[in-house]
Chains A and B, each alone.
Chain A
Amino acid sequence: MTRRRLSAATLVGLEELAEAPAATDRDVGASVRRLTLDGDQLVVSLPLTSIRPNPHQPRRAFSEQSLRELADSIAEHGRVMQPILVRPAEPSARGDAAGFELVAGERRWRASKLAGQQTIRAIVDGVDNALSAEMALTENMARADLTTKEAARGCEALRDSFGLSYAQIARRVGRDRTAISHLTRLLQLPDRAQALIEEGRLSEGHGRILLRLEDHDARRELAILCADRGWSVRELERHVDARNAPPVAAPSSPPADQLAALQTLSESLEPVFGAIGVRIVPRRRGSYRIALDCESYDELAAIVARMRALLLLSAAEDDA
């Protein structure tokens, strides 16, 4: 008779549990129990230290003054008026305590630290990586105080990290596709030119015109000139076009009498090639090209056969 003894094998659910132990509050560094309802949303108080910025946050520049103002308001009310949005962070490869990652509210988080707060009111969401960056970007773009470069970086992150097309990005952030591709193209500008746009000394429109220049150094040089002299987009366009004009004068076109002669010459070839168009085209430095335009392979084959026949004919004439 077999004994029905308790063993690991008889425990239901053991394997499931052993596969991936859930991160506990201790791992997460949050042990505050206070919880409130804000409308229909659960709001928790999280230690500021348990939160880290969103690595996909496109926003990099925070004006010192506006942070200070927000910090003062937080210190006065003892809390942020609008809870920030966080999500549980993946434990990092470096083994940092996992904690939470900001989805939206980096400014409120920084200002709370400035205000000397220990905790911040937060809504914890379970959004995935792409969605988190997307939400940060979308939220920021909606506020429209994101700098051009920040917006461009955000779009690029969405494209590179999450494989979204410009059309998809545009749809999600509520701008049109060309605006998005213009935005990301600005990142091809030299750093100095990007900085000028960031500082507001050049517009995005200026940036787009600068991109017409092929040369990186030329882009930088004109960006600085343009900012210094306060050129309008139209003025800049004129300077850029001047630069783009070929450095040497256009090849001197053949004299008028020669051009007339070319017409006669090509017409004189008509009996040879029949319906197939023959063009004699002047090229640079007084050279010419004879072009035969064939509409199809058959036509080409017919021409080659005809030329061979002519060659044989003239050879026979020479022999004679």
Chain B
Amino acid sequence: MRLAAKVYAVGNEKGGVGKTTIAVNVAAAAARRGARVLLIDSDATFRATQVLGVDPRTVPGTLADVYLQRRTAAQTIVPTAEGVDVLASGPELGEVAGKLAGLNYREFRLRLVLGAYLDECPYDVVFIDTPPSKGLLLSNALQVVDEVVCVLDMTDDGSVQGVVNTLLHIREMAAVPNAHVPTLRVLRNRVDERARSYRQIMDADALDLPGVCEQLGIDLMQIEIPETREFTNAAAERRPLVAIPRPASNRRLTAAVAALDALADELCPAKVAAA
């Protein structure tokens, strides 16, 4: 029996911590390493869709159509030039969140329309980019994922509270009968030892990050994503960083790509030789 796809949400209820950048880049890195990858864009600002070179105005449908059962996931997913398939987002996704609010089992709507597909989909790994706020789009995404990769921006101390808020959200949902309770791991992003804010977050006297994670029973990932302008440059070109030709001389860029590759390896289940 084939292993079911591993499904991750890339999240943090704090915005601007690099969720979309990490989601798109780890998806592209995994695809370049031979994995079959799906990215579901569940953020109504459809940034991940765009960075993968897809125009939400020209796709046959978006996640909003899947939510409203106007299309199935299989009819809506499109391939991209980066080797990652995408279930695109579009502006109408924002309105869907409003419509969900009036439904029964409103946190379970994505699982109802997508759960069976994810159990049997032809992918090794699925990443869901989530919106930076506690809302129904996030609650629904949490119901279909195995794990949440919570992105911690090491230059933004507000993102630590974002991790705690995300955990509180998961805890709240755990009380709902039938709710899935995903595990959570923390990924340090924008690691720059020279930055003053970074030292503050890592200062054991102020906040003992490994200690806090242990106390909360969550995994603090060893892999760290380094800070580099190249992420911004790549996003401006609407391409994942890993897809951009890189001069070996750019050590920060090389380090960033190596970290993304390592992350892809860790998140993508070992591929078993086909029987």
Contact = CB atoms under 8 A, between A and B. Distances in A.
Interface in A52-80: none
A8 B207 contact: yes
Contacts of B168: 13, 16-17
Nearest to A87: B177
A28 B183 CA distance: 11
Contacts of A17: 164, 167-168, 171, 216
B104 interface: yes
A124 B206 contact: no
B193 interface: no
A33 B177 contact: no
Contacts of B201: 6
Interface stretch (B22-30, B114-122, B229-237): B114-122
Contacts of B165: 13
B118 A18 contact: no
Contacts of B222: none
A31 interface: yes
A46 to B, nearest CB: 10
B174 interface: yes
B54 interface: no
Contacts of B192: none
B161 A24 contact: no
B146 interface: yes
Contacts of A42: 105, 108, 177-178
Contacts of A36: 112, 116
Contacts of A40: 104
Contact of B146 (A8, A14, A21, A25): A25
Nearest to A37: B112
Contact of A22 (B4, B171, B203): B171
Contacts of A7: 206-207
A19 to B, nearest CB: 10
Given A12-B164, A13-B165, A33 B181 contact: no
A4 to B, nearest CB: 10
B144 A25 contact: no
Q: Please tell me the size bucket of the interface on A.
A: 20 to 34
Interface string A85-118: 0000000000000000000000000000000000
Interface in B208-230: 208, 211-212, 215-217
Contacts of B212: 8, 11, 14
Give the secondary structure class of A's interface.
loop
Interface string A16-49: 1110011111101011111111001010100000
A126 interface: yes
A31 B177 contact: no
Contacts of B171: 17, 22
B217 A5 contact: no
A30 B146 CA distance: 10
A145 B229 CA distance: 73
A125 interface: yes
A21 B217 contact: yes
Contacts of A5: 200, 203, 206-207
Nearest to A44: B178
A6 B180 CA distance: 32
A24 to B, nearest CB: 5
A126 B175 CA distance: 9
A33 B174 contact: no
Contacts of A26: 183
B174 A126 contact: no
B160 A11 contact: yes
B238 interface: no
Contacts of B183: 24-26
Q: In the A-B complex, list the 8 residue pairs whose CB atoms are closest, starting with the nearest.
A: A33-B115, A6-B157, A22-B174, A21-B217, A34-B116, A35-B111, A5-B206, A24-B181
Given A7-B206, A17-B167, 11 more contacts: A5-B200, A6-B160, A12-B164, A13-B167, A16-B168, A22-B171, A26-B183, A34-B119, A42-B108, A42-B178, A125-B177
